[in-house]
């Protein structure tokens, strides 16, 4: 039995350890702030997010959050339902950011593809995918899911956000399940929670992109494969094979990330008895058969896309890259990077072959030099598992829990008080607010005119689907011969916008004079061409949306004009 003095000394040691962790968390934030110029992230660089020295009010909030974390650490948390706690907490945290605008123009592609399904049906989409429906380098699964949501629930962005948030929360739970399967429940729970310690990841969840869904399907393939090899059975093997095929059709980078399944098979075969080998063989055969059954109808399009990826996307990585310093220190949390790095030593010390499963993808990213944070989002669950494995070397569970809580609190403070306000002042918010305003009007149709972007090689027509995503009005659009203005489009990261083809549902031919006209420009003072001035005769300016972060060259300043006789509410 411990003496009273021993218990008191232990409590004092825990207090000192908690204090040290809290101070290190504050020091990490302040250090990154001082060196924020080193963050070269293309979307949420600290040098932009903290351009106005918001650190002076974020720091006290962060300190209060670290104190609250110390109080929460004493609670019986997570209790008997760790998966449920992780799911609900992750959903609630990311739902707060649903008001974030659609800040990445790639969303226009996925919305356009999804809308074809809503309007013309799944059969038309599958028949015209890569034909009448421009697909760039996209695979069909995620646009199909988005389109089915529009068809069943209605064309409203909130349904997409609920869906992507559900997939993120499910990814958190899958990370927990993978960690529990490989090691123990505490490691799994810490890993799942650490996905909330990645502020950049939290900004991506509300967006209509494919990266977060891809993360879910890759994690699902890993977990179901682990489970199928461990338990066997026709149902488990079929489920794992289906998960592999779904991940296969999410994104081309997922093909590379699915290589982790080979590591899973090798580790399990080495550790398990002969039935594991037979299960692995059956799983491989079923997966290849399903892929072989679904690939031929799309093989021509896929072949062209793969050739284009080789000739354009692969060389482009060097032009669009972000440094590992930015990704692993600024956009995630430095503690995650530190414990993930330490875990490599711990795994070799423990001679733990299972660790190879979680090491494979982060190591592959580093070896191949994939320095673009959006492209490696599906690797984040494995990075969280690495960090959780490193935390296992701290023998006191209370310290492990507090470190995880400090990481999560720091991430939430940065995401909600830094990244989120910055994103909400980007010019993309003008499209969101304009869409909401258009919905308040009685006009049945709205004509959209997109002016030439003068500071970046982007086709302004791509703004039309992004506006359409935020309004229930029927939009009509005339391209008026838009073309790149002496800028190098061939090597641009936004080259896809110039291969954008105006969908037939925006066709303005034969349409009567619209009651409302929207002008999308790159500046509130951008002059109107004479032909557009003539078109606006008889209209009056009703509302303008001119927010801008003054960072990015592509800007969407929106002005809404109403016919002179229209009473309006503006």
> Residue 548's pLDDT is what?
92
Q: Are strands 557-563 and 539-545 parallel, antiparallel or unpaired?
A: antiparallel
Local confidence band at 480 (pLDDT 50, 70, 90 cut-offs): low
| Chain segment 79-91, per-residue pLDDT in tens | 789 999 999 999 9
Extended beta strands in 412-538, E state: 445-450, 474-477, 516-521
Q: What percent of the chain has pLDDT over 70?
A: 94
* DSSP state letters, 542-564: EEEE----S--S---EEEEEEET
Residue 328 has pLDDT above 90, yes or no: yes
Phi, psi of 34 (to 5 degrees): -60, -35
Place of tokens 């916008």: 497
Secondary structure of the chain: what % helix, strand, coil (to 5)?
65, 5, 30
Residues 6+ apart with CB under 8 A from 275: 232
The length of the chain is 570
Where on the phi/psi map is residue 121: left (φ > 0), alpha (ψ -120 to 50), or beta? left
The CA-based angle 355-361-362, given to 5 degrees, is: 90
Residue 570 has pLDDT above 50, yes or no: no
Residue 18: name the closest of 329, 337, 396 by CA: 396
CB 37 within 8 A of CB 47: yes
Local confidence band at 565 (pLDDT 50, 70, 90 cut-offs): low
**What is residue 537's three-state secondary structure?**
coil
Structure tokens at 361: 């993808």
What mean pLDDT comes out for the span 375-389?
97
295-299 LR contacts (CB < 8 Å, sep 24+):
297/126, 298/129, 298/130, 298/140
Local confidence band at 353 (pLDDT 50, 70, 90 cut-offs): very high
| pTM for the predicted model, two decimal places | 0.94
Q: What radius of gyration, in Å, describes the C-alpha atoms of the chain?
A: 25
Structure tokens at 436: 């909401």
> Residue 75's pLDDT is what?
77
Residue 372: name the closest of 139, 41, 37, 44 by CA: 41
What mean pLDDT comes out for the span 263-281?
86
CB 569 within 8 A of CB 447: no
- Give, rounded to a whole angstrom, the gap between the first and last alpha carbons of the chain: 76
Residues 6+ apart with CB under 8 A from 23: none
Place of tokens 């003095």: 5
Rounded Cα distance between 386 and 124, Å, is: 44
Local confidence band at 134 (pLDDT 50, 70, 90 cut-offs): confident
Rounded Cα distance between 113 and 210, Å, is: 12
Extended beta strands in 338-403, E state: none
CB 90 within 8 A of CB 447: no
Where on the phi/psi map is residue 333: left (φ > 0), alpha (ψ -120 to 50), or beta? beta
The region of weakest confidence among 22-31, 70-79, 337-346, 527-536 is 70-79
Residue 302: name the closest of 446, 139, 142 by CA: 139
CB 247 within 8 A of CB 258: yes
| Chain segment 1-60, per-residue pLDDT in tens | 456 776 777 788 888 988 999 999 999 999 999 999 999 999 999 999 998 766 778 889
CB 329 within 8 A of CB 337: yes
């Amino acid at each position: 039995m411990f003496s009273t003095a021993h218990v008191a000394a232990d409590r004092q040691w825990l207090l000192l350890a908690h204090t040290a962790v809290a101070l290190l968390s504050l020091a990490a934030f302040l250090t990154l702030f001082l060196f924020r110029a080193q963050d070269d992230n293309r979307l949420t660089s600290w040098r932009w997010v903290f351009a106005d020295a918001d650190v002076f009010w974020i720091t006290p909030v962060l300190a209060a959050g670290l104190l609250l974390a110390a109080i929460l650490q004493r609670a019986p948390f997570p209790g008997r339902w760790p998966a449920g706690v992780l799911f609900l907490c992750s959903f609630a945290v990311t739902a707060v950011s649903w008001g974030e605008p659609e800040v990445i123009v790639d969303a226009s592609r996925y919305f356009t593809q999804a809308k074809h399904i809503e309007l013309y049906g799944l059969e038309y989409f599958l028949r015209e995918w890569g034909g009448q429906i421009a697909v760039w380098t996209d695979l069909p699964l995620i646009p199909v899911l988005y389109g089915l949501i529009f068809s069943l629930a209605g064309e409203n962005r909130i349904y997409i956000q609920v869906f992507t948030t559900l997939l993120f929360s499910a990814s958190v739970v899958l990370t927990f399940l993978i960690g529990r399967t490989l090691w123990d429940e505490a490691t799994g729970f810490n890993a799942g929670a650490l996905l909330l310690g990645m502020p950049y990841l939290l900004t991506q969840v509300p967006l209509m992109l494919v990266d977060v869904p891809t993360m879910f399907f890759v994690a699902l393939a890993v977990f179901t494969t682990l489970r199928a090899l461990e338990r066997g059975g026709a149902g488990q093997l079929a489920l794992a094979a289906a998960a592999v095929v779904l991940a296969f059709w999410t994104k081309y980078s997922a093909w590379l990330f699915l290589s982790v399944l080979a590591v899973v098979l090798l580790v399990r075969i080495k550790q398990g008895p002969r039935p594991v080998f037979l299960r692995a063989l059956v799983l491989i055969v079923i997966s290849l058969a399903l892929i072989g059954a679904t690939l031929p109808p799309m093989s021509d399009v896929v072949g062209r896309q793969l050739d284009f990826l080789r000739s354009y996307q692969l060389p482009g990585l060097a032009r669009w890259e972000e440094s590992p310093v930015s990704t692993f220190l600024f956009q995630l949390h430095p503690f995650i990077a530190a414990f993930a790095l330490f875990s490599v030593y711990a795994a070799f010390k423990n001679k733990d072959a299972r660790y190879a499963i979680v090491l494979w993808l982060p190591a592959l990213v580093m070896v191949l030099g994939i320095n673009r944070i959006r492209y490696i989002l599906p690797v984040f669950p494995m990075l969280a598992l690495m960090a959780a494995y490193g935390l296992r070397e701290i023998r006191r569970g209370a310290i492990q829990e507090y470190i995880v809580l400090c990481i999560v609190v720091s991430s939430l403070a940065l995401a909600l008080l830094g990244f989120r306000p910055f994103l909400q002042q980007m010019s993309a918010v003008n499209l969101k607010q304009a869409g909401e305003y258009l919905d308040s009007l009685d006009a049945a149709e709205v004509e959209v005119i997109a002016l030439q972007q003068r500071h970046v090689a982007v086709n302004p027509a791509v703004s039309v689907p992004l506006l359409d995503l935020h309004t229930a009005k029927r939009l009509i659009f005339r391209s008026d011969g838009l073309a790149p203005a002496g800028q190098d489009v061939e090597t641009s990261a936004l080259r896809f916008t110039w291969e954008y083809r105006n969908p037939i549902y925006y066709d303005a031919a034969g349409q009567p004079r619209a009651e409302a006209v929207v002008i999308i420009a790159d500046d509130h003072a951008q002059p109107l061409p004479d032909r557009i001035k003539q078109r606006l005769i008889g209209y009056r300016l009703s509302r303008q949306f001119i927010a801008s972060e003054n960072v990015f060259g592509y800007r969407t300043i929106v002005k809404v004009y109403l016919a002179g006789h229209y009473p309006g509410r503006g």
